[in-house]
Copies of this chain bind each other. A is one copy, B any other.
């Protein structure tokens, strides 16, 4: 039942070009920094390609009063593993839905060795060694802010950066022996280690030169590849933000299934959980001014110039008034989790780096998330103080080994933007999952889409006189909501 998803024909600006795509490309493609120039402007508003919306449907999806739920529909193509997806636009906070989504099966083609590249150039374009590679499945949500450009671009490119990072590792990941600590000059091919060019040295993974040699797992290589791919994505947005009109930034949550394991990478306040036999397994944590307070305060303390004399690295429970100088006030610094009293000094009258609570917590009075892609031009209002580098592009990656447990068709991985989690907690999501799944046959491929739709509808609520309301009459989410429901033991998996 696996349907191929669109061939990932976009090329990376990184210069190495070919290798990514659901189908092995029919002809070798050259590198170059031309991705931006050849593809339509990345900032153009769109919805995920897999929804295949007609212009009329796109118009409906963009209607803030109807807030129609969008899903891939029967009769159109189905997502890998019969993944469920649903989304809905916000209640009017921005013109367009600033969430974006991507679902791909990506072929990672092993990078040709330098010698092969040389002979390829000399011989007129034929790549050496066939089309060796590995596939990964990929699902990702991007929750944009201050414009849709960064989220659109990230949804089109992040998986290609992951692919690019993995290309050097194809052979190493397929070799059951531990990854080599050191590779020879200018090649990622471990077979080259003992070649003549390497001055006849013994490969270090065969005969360790040092007793103190740390074992590195295949898994940690994949984690490193994903971490660096987020950085590459962020760098690309930085490079192309002017030419491609990429204002704003986005949170990014990606699930990569590779060789039996799920790698869930999160940078921002989206969230992923696994529901397995009714048990909830968190697969991410949120990165907000509150959860990252100590990292931010530590950076501010060590690099006070980044605060532009406007902010103090200390946290206070509220703003201090000048007339309170000399009194004692509760504070905490980068070393503290508790609070203590300190005598208020002149410097404490500056605005606190971290301020506010819960969803209202802000870093530098500007932004409510502390990890994500983009935002290179984001500054504190009417100042020249940049939010980067306090805002980091690096994700936390959690690993789930699918082979360690026998999964049933009701076990799922749920990815959602904060529009979901703000009003529906883990337990409520798990309850909806179980409720909906039991009303469909286990082998009905539509059941995961039904779950995703139900999660979105219940978090959006129904439009009443006093706005969007949930069944319990509480306020529904006025934010964009996007949800993937990925079956872990459903029909067609692992194919």
Query: Which residues of A are interface residues toward B (Cβ below 8 A)?
Result: 165, 168, 179, 181-186, 188, 208-210, 212-216, 219-228, 231, 295, 298-299, 302-303, 317-321, 324, 326-330, 332, 335-341, 355-357, 360, 392, 394, 396-397
Given contacts A224-B338, A225-B338, A337-B220, whether A329 and B213 have CB atoms under 8 Å apart is no
From A168, A320, A340, residue with most partner B Cβ within 10 Å = A340
A–B Cβ pairs within 8 angstroms, 26 of them: A179-B339, A182-B324, A182-B330, A183-B327, A183-B329, A188-B341, A210-B319, A212-B355, A212-B356, A212-B357, A214-B357, A219-B338, A220-B337, A220-B338, A221-B330, A223-B339, A224-B337, A224-B338, A225-B338, A227-B337, A228-B336, A228-B340, A231-B335, A299-B302, A336-B394, A338-B397
Give the chain B neighbours of A357 by CB distance below 8 A: 212, 214-215
Do A318 and B212 touch (CB < 8 A)? yes
Interfacial chain B residues near A223, Cβ < 8 Å: 336-339
Contact A214 B317 (CB under 8 A): yes
Contact of A340 among B221, B318, B329 (CB under 8 A): B221
Nearest 6 pairs between A and B by C-beta?
A: A223-B338, A224-B338, A224-B340, A214-B317, A183-B328, A335-B394
> Which B residues lie within 8 Å of A356 (CB)?
212, 214
How far is A328 from B338 in the complex, measured between Cα atoms in Å? 44
A185 touches B338 (CB 8 A): no
Q: A183-B341, A227-B336, A295-B298 are in contact. List 11 more A-B contacts (CB 8 A).
A: A184-B327, A188-B341, A212-B355, A214-B357, A216-B317, A216-B330, A220-B338, A221-B340, A224-B339, A227-B335, A302-B302
A186 to B396: give the CA distance in the assembly, Å. Answer: 45
